[in-house]
Amino acid sequence: MPTVILDEKSCAAEVGETILDVARRNGVWIPTLCYHPALEAYASCRLCMVEIDRGGWWQMVTACNYPVRRDLAVRVESERAVRARQGVMRLLLARAPESPELQRLAARLGIQSPGLPTVTVAERNCILCGLCVRACEERIGTAAISLAGRGVERKVSTPFDEPSADCILCGACAAVCPVGTIQWEVHGDEVELVPFGTRGPVRRCAACGAVLAAELAALAVAGRGAAAVQGLMDGEGFCWRCKRKKLARELSAGLPGGGPPSPRERPP
Amino acid sequence: MSTVVSKLESSRDLEEYRSEVCGRAARVDCTVRVCCGPGCLPKGAAKVYDGFVAAAGGPGEKSVAVSSKLTGCQGLCECGPIVTVSRLWEERGDSPHLPERPATNLGSVPGCAQMGTGYPLGAFFPGGIFYQRVRPEDVAEIWRESVEGGRVVERLLYHDDKTGTAARTAAEIPFYRGHCRVALALCGVADARSIDDYIAARGYAALAKVLASMTPEDVMAEVTRSGLRGRGGGGFPTGKKWRSARDAHGEPKYLIANGDEGDPGAFMDRALMEGVPHAVIEGMIIGGYAIGSSRGYIYVRNEYPIAVDRLHDAVLQARRMGFLGENILGSGFSFDIRINRGGGAFVCGESTALMASLEGRVGEPRAKYIHTVEAGFHGKPSLLNNVETWANVPPIILHGADWFAALGTPKSKGTKVFSLVGRVKNTGLVEVPMGMTLRQIIFDIGGGIRDEKSFKAVQTGGPSGGCIPAACLDEPVDFDRLSELGSMMGSGGMIVMDEDTCMVNLARYFLRFLKEESCGKCTPCREGIAQMLHLLEEITAGRGRPGDLERLEQLAALLEDTALCALGKTAANPVLSTLRYFRGEYEAHIAQRHCPAKECRGLFRYRIDAEACTGCGVCRKKCPVDAIAGQRKEPHVIDDEKCTFCGTCRDVCRFAAVTRV
């Protein structure tokens, strides 16, 4: 079993793990933006730069996808690694200076202002980490959005910038977005994915009317989601809260005295 | 072009076929070679070629048997279209089929052969009369005088500016001295469309030798011993790469030729693929045998339609003759090649992006922590080499590693193809031994700088390379030395600049190119290049601030440390190398708001020389903002307050009285 030395800390590791895996397990913080444990590492944001010993020279690598194959010495807090991460953070902050999430992360990295002008256009603070696109493709299997265009023209987009015909409005893209670019917004009986403009009917709890999911997403997960998700979607169509209330009522119905009084009937 | 033959089933079949082809060639009295390379074609070379074909096929009895060849690049693009006319005895060599050279009045003939004896080694090559700037209407005269009459058409010869003498053969032209063609050995000699021409010059003999007498280990040892290094830019030892690919676990193994040339001003790979497509194919088959692969891909950009067609036809020819497909030359080894067209993204020349594109995905790079020789195309071991690297393989096998290793410098063996462009007199395609100095390439071969200007810098290695100043002109050109100078070999583009080129503006040009070609995947490349370009645009517009140079250097260091692929890591090189050698020029832009090369608009002034001005009034009438005043026949004056620095006055002045200061 290889040993990974993170700065001074000696950590046991498995072959094939990444430096980030080892660091997280051992409580060593390395900042990330485009990384998500449920997705393939993409290494596009370059915020997780660390130095590794290549025998005589130190190479800058991304912790999120550098595989451990043998014993490895890593410098996380070296001057060069810190400077690199701060530099990348400055570039991101210059792109989207308004983003509170980026500002918080930058502050944690010791950066108050980018010190650089804004020279690229970020739609709704998008930093092009690609998490949304990968979640949609890898986990949902829909690929309703993708990264279109090249270089500074690059953007997350539905085909031809029109509302997507394939999108099931599950909202996974909005859930993984680290800077809140994508929002899953409910308007009455419809849900809209902002900024793509894709809309569809929403499914509500049959009892209380709370939002359950987009209708298309509910249909899509039927038969393939985890047990908890499936239970939520089938049956009478109750939200978890109403379902629990109903269950409680059914169970208490068998108790002596016909169960506890409902809250409204309780004497003041 | 090739006659229909049945599949060749052994090396012996190949030898017999070659002798048949050479025999046919020996029945031709005169060979006309029309260069239809990247430089000559836009100048009308195709019409010239058609003219010769029509003349040969015209009515009436022919006194001579003529073979007209459409060839790849013959090198001296500046003087295209180029036509060479050689008599049978000039196609000489030790071939028994060809007659001895008779007494002649046509001057000396270069001492290398192309028919019968194998690759012409050393200097260029087709013997015979060398005509330049040939127009379609010149064909009749060349036909009458040279082809039929054996005489020279003086007016179409190359005239040396310095000596004033006319050159009758390529060997007499300074441009061709020092040339040593290995990868391009048959480019410009063989008909680019003909497998017969390639075979006649011992094409596919290296393959036959490999299959008949060498083990894969032998082949790899030979390539390793030759010292060949990757010609695509990085200069990685080819033998070592092949070894890793052979040792890698996983089946099938893939073999890829990178023909996605994209550097501004570079056309080496295009010329190679158009001129000798079979050399690339033969090299790949040998590589496939060495590493145990049976599937090859050639990735060529779609903007090279001729190269795509030639490669496509060459693959069909090779398949028909049995060099590709099952059981090649009866050896039991099988290999085939597919041509894939790229969409022309610069980043697709990067190996991982190329493979992503080949798989049908978006052409974006990925981390190379696991090398592509272990897991590349479709996650399988993949050996990728530049097309020029592949074309070097057959000569190495045929003539031996020692012969190849004798060329070049201790650490950079063999030759390198360069496209020599920019402000140099003789632009063209150059293949020279490694270690030749920049001065030799630019001044001896290139003929020096145009219009009696002075040399300022040469940009090598494309956007990832750098600028090398006059002080380093005597440095030898090899992989390591160029890197030490802050540039790189790259794929071989060489852009020569004169005193009128502003180095800050040049850096800006390359950064703009890179900004447009960055795929945008990683933050440092996408955002960092845009930041650097912004600074350079401010500086060239006269809005530079103190500290800008340090900011540029910090961003450059950041890119080198954190970018994902080589394109991003080296993107700052054009800035770093110009900062290294021309820092004063940057400082003048910022501190004095002055462009020393007088190229950046607004950072210099126009003045009218009172001595030279005749007072004709043309500039005054043409000035779009009425900034020029003056009486007729009196010296005129420019009002700097009104002037928008458009340069119209300078363009229209017939007395060169308007100068830039």
Taking 90 as the threshold, does the pLDDT of residue B29 lie above it?
no
In sequence order, which residues have a C-beta less than 8 Å from that of residue A144 and are 6 or more positions away?
Answer: A136, A158, A164, A166, A167, A168, A198
Q: Is A16 on the interface with B (CB under 8 A)?
A: no
Q: Do A46 and B520 touch (CB under 8 A)?
A: no
Q: Which bin fits B84, alpha (ψ -120 to 50), beta or left (φ > 0)?
A: beta
Structure confidence at residue B57 (pLDDT): 81
pLDDT confidence bin for B38, thresholds 50/70/90: very high
Q: What is the pLDDT of residue B95?
A: 40
Give pTM, 2 decimals: 0.90
Decide if A268 is inside a domain: no
Instruction: Write out B485-524 in H/E/C secondary structure.
Output: CCCCCCCCEEEEEECCCCHHHHHHHHHHHHHHHCCCCCHH
Dihedral sign (CA B516, B518, B522, B523)? negative
Whether residue A234 is contained in a domain is answered as: yes
Q: What is the DSSP letter of B140?
A: H
Which of A185, A193, A91 lies closest to A132, judged by CA?
Answer: A193
Same domain membership, residue A210 and residue A101:
no
Q: Provide the shortest C-alpha distance from residue A7 to chain B (in Å).
A: 19
With an 8 Å Cβ cutoff, are B528 and A91 in contact? yes
Residue A259 gets the label, from left (phi > 0), alpha (psi -120 to 50) or beta, of left
CB atoms within 10 A of CB B299: 22
Contact A128 B563 (CB under 8 A): no
Contacts of A94 in chain B (CB under 8 A): 527, 531
Q: Confirm or reject contact between B569 and chain A (CB < 8 A).
A: no
Residue B493 has pLDDT above 50, yes or no: yes
Per-residue confidence (pLDDT) for residue B171, from 0 to 100: 83
Name every chain A residue with its beta carbon within 8 A of the beta carbon of B350.
Answer: none
Residues A83 and A189 in one domain: no
Considering only the beta carbons, identify the residue of B370, B527, B562 that sits closest to A84.
Answer: B562
Count other Cβ atoms within 10 Å, centred on residue B379. Answer: 12
Examine residue A67 and state whether it is found in any structural domain, yes or no: yes
- Identify which of B622, B609, B629 has the alpha carbon closest to the alpha carbon of residue B648: B622
**A121 contacts chain B (CB < 8 A):** no
Q: Considering only CA atoms, which of B188, B226, B191 is closest in space to residue B206?
A: B226
pLDDT value at residue A263: 59
Cα of A21 to nearest chain B Cα, Å:
16
Q: Tell me the three state secondary structure of residue B430.
A: strand
Asked if A80's CB is within 8 angstroms of B561's CB, the reply is yes
Q: Chain A interface, mutation test: which of B514, B523, B569, most A Cβ atoms within 10 Å?
A: B523
The answer to whether residue B363 neighbours chain A at the CB level (below 8 Å) is: no
HSE of B561 in the Cβ direction (CA atoms, 13 Å)? 24
> Is ipTM > 0.85 here?
yes
Structure tokens at A200: 């569809």
The H-or-E segment that residue B338 falls in is: strand B336-342
Say yes or no for a CB contact (<8 Å) between A151 and B523: no
Sequence-separated (6 or more) residues with CB below 8 Å from residue A189: A201, A202
A88 and B524 within 8 Å at the Cβ level: the answer is yes
A153 touches chain B (CB under 8 A): yes
Contacts for B481-487 with beta carbons within 8 Å, 24 or more apart? B485/B577, B486/B573, B486/B576, B486/B577, B486/B580, B486/B581, B487/B459, B487/B460, B487/B461, B487/B573, B487/B577
B530 contacts in A (CB within 8 Å)? Answer: 119-120, 152
Q: A84–B558: do the CB atoms touch at under 8 Å? A: yes
Are A166 and A90 contained in the same domain? no
Two tokens, residue B240:
């070592």
Average pLDDT over residues B479-495: 91
Segment 173-202 of chain A within 8 Å of chain B by CB? none
CATH of the domain at A103: 3.10.20.740
Residues A98 and A174 occupy one common structural domain:
no
- Same domain assignment for residues A17 and A92: yes
Establish if A45 touches chain B: CB-CB under 8 angstroms: yes
Query: What tokens were used for B421?
Result: 């462009």
Same domain, A246 and A140: yes
Taking contacts as CB-CB distances below 8 angstroms, the residues of chain A near B517 are 150-151
For the segment B73-91, the average pLDDT, to the nearest whole number, is 87
Interface check for A43 against chain B (CB to CB < 8 A): the answer is yes
> Residue B264 above 80 pLDDT?
yes
Q: How confident is the model at residue B109 (pLDDT cuts 50, 70, 90)?
A: very low
Label each residue of chain A as H, E or C: CCEEEECCEEEECCCCCEHHHHHHHCCCCCCCCCCCCCCCCCCCCCCCEEEEECCCCEEEEECCCCECCCCEEEECCCHHHHHHHHHHHHHHHHHCCCCHHHHHHHHHCCCCCCCCCCCCCCHHHCCCCCHHHHHHHHHHCCCCCEEECCHHHCEEECHHHCCCCCCCCCCHHHHHCCCCCCEEEEECCEEEEECCCEEEEEEECCCCCCEEEEHHHHHHHCCCCCHHHHHHHCCCCCCHHHHHHHHHHHHHHCCHHHCCCCHHHCCC
Domains of chain B, earliest start first: 11-179 (3.40.30.10), 209-405 (3.40.50.11540), 415-498 (3.10.20.600), 503-591 (1.20.1440.230), 606-660 (3.30.70.20)
CB of B343 within 8 Å of a chain A CB? The answer is: no
Chain A contact for B515 (CB, 8 A cutoff)? yes
Note the maximum CA span of chain A: 81
* Residue B558 touches chain A, beta carbons under 8 Å: yes
| Structural domain containing residue A20 | 3-108
- Say yes or no to pLDDT of B51 above 60: yes
Check CB contact under 8 Å for A49 and B562: yes
Same domain, A13 and A93: yes
Q: In which band, very low, low, confident or very high, does the pLDDT at B115 lie, cut at 50, 70 and 90?
A: very low
User: Which CA distances in Å does A4 have to A15, A46, A84?
Assistant: 11, 21, 21
- Together in a domain, A162 and A87: no
End-to-end CA distance of chain B: 60
Q: What is the rounded CA–CA span in Å between residue B69 and residue B58? A: 17
What is the average pLDDT value for chain B, to the nearest integer? 90
3-state helix, strand, coil in chain B (%, to 5): 40, 15, 45
> B72, B114 in Cβ contact below 8 A?
no
Q: Determine the length of chain A.
A: 268
Q: Is A10 inside a domain boundary? A: yes
Q: Other CB atoms closer than 10 Å to residue B359's CB: what's the count?
A: 13
Locate the chain A residue with the closest alpha carbon to B514: A151
Q: Are residues A99 and A168 in the same domain?
A: no
CA end-to-end span of chain A: 67
- Between B345 and B337, where is the model more confident? B337
CA distance A59 to chain B (A): 8
Assess whether pLDDT exceeds 60 at residue B3. Answer: no
pLDDT tens per residue across span B568-580: 999 999 999 999 9
Predicted pLDDT of residue B120? 43
Q: Could you say which of A43, A87, A119 has the minimum Cβ distance to residue B534?
A: A119
pLDDT of residue B118: 39
Do the strands A72-75 and A146-148 form a parallel or antiparallel pair, or are they unpaired? Answer: unpaired
**Any residues with CB less than 8 A from the CB of A107 and at least 6 apart, and which?**
none
Q: Are residues A140 and A224 in the same domain?
A: yes
Residue of A nearest to B368 (CA): A66
Residue A99 maps to a domain: yes
**Contact: A43, B564; criterion CB under 8 Å:** yes
pLDDT in the model for residue B65: 87
Peptide bond into B81 cis (omega under 30): yes
Asked whether residue A221 falls in the same domain as residue A130, the answer is yes
The predicted structure's pLDDT at residue B104: 32
- Given an 8 Å threshold on Cβ–Cβ distance, is A91 in contact with B531? yes
Question: In Å, how far is A195's CA from the nearest CA of chain B?
Answer: 20
Report chain B residues whose CB lies below 8 A from the CB of A46.
522-524, 562-564
Is some CB atom of chain A closer than 8 A to the CB atom of B65?
no
Q: Answer yes or no: is A113 within a domain.
A: no
What is the Cβ-side half-sphere exposure of residue B370, based on CA atoms within 13 angstroms?
17
Look at the block and give the residue holding tokens 């009478």.
A236
| Mean per-residue pLDDT, B350-373 | 94
Residue of A nearest to B554 (CA): A87
What is B207-249 written as a DSSP string?
Answer: HHHHHHH--HHHHHHHHHHHT-B-TTTT--BHHHHHHHHHH--
Is residue B650 helix, strand or coil? helix
Q: Which residues of B touch A67 (CB under 8 A)?
A: 369-370
Q: What is the 3-state secondary structure (H, E, C) of B37-79?
A: CCCCHHHCHHHHHHHHHHHHHCCCCCCCCEEEEEECCCCCHHH
* Alpha-carbon B119 to chain mean position: 20
Paired tokens of B75? 């090198």
Whether A59 is in a domain gets the answer yes
Across B81-104, b (16+ Cβ under 10 Å) vs e yields bbbbbbbbbbbbbebebbeeeeee
Q: Would strands A190-194 and A183-187 be described as parallel, antiparallel, or unpaired?
A: antiparallel
A152 to B517: CB separation less than 8 angstroms, yes or no? no
Integer Cα distance of B476 and B493 in angstroms: 16
Residue B523 touches chain A, beta carbons under 8 Å: yes
Residue of B nearest to A116 (CA): B531
Backbone angles phi, psi at B306, to 5 degrees: -70, -45
Whether A212 maps to a domain, the answer reads yes
For B519, the closest of A80, A83, A150 (CB atoms) is A150
Q: Greater confidence, B417 or A266? A: B417
Same domain for A160 and A220?
Answer: yes
Q: Is the pLDDT of residue B360 over 80?
A: yes
The one-character DSSP state at B610 is T
Contacts of A123 in chain B (CB under 8 A): none
- Distant-in-sequence, close-in-space partners of B152: CB < 8 Å, separation ≥ 6: B106, B129, B145, B146, B168
Structural domain count, chain A: 2
CA of B567 vs chain A CAs: smallest distance (Å) = 12
Q: Residue B187 in contact with residue B400, Cβ under 8 Å?
A: no
Q: Please tell me which residue of chain A has the smallest CA distance to B561.
A: A60
- The partner residue sitting opposite A91, judged by closest CB among B369, B516, B524, is B524
Residue of chain A whose alpha carbon sits nearest to that of B532? A119
Full pLDDT tens readout for chain A, 268 residues = 899 999 999 999 999 999 999 999 999 999 999 999 999 999 999 999 999 999 999 999 999 999 999 999 999 999 999 999 999 999 999 999 999 999 999 999 999 999 999 999 999 999 999 999 999 999 999 999 999 999 999 999 999 999 999 999 999 999 999 999 999 999 999 999 999 999 999 999 888 989 988 989 888 877 665 666 666 666 667 888 888 888 888 888 877 766 555 656 555 4
CB proximity B94 to A under 8 Å: no
* A35 at interface of B, judged by CB pairs closer than 8 A: no
What is the three-class DSSP state of B30?
A: strand
CA distances in angstroms from B296 to B90, B109, B194, B324, B613, listed in the order given: 38, 40, 21, 10, 67
Residue of B343 and B271 predicted with greater confidence: B271
Picking from A91, A125, A127 by the largest number of B CB atoms within 10 A of its own CB, the best residue to mutate is A91
**Radius of gyration (C-alpha) of chain B in whole angstroms:** 27
Residue B165 DSSP code: P
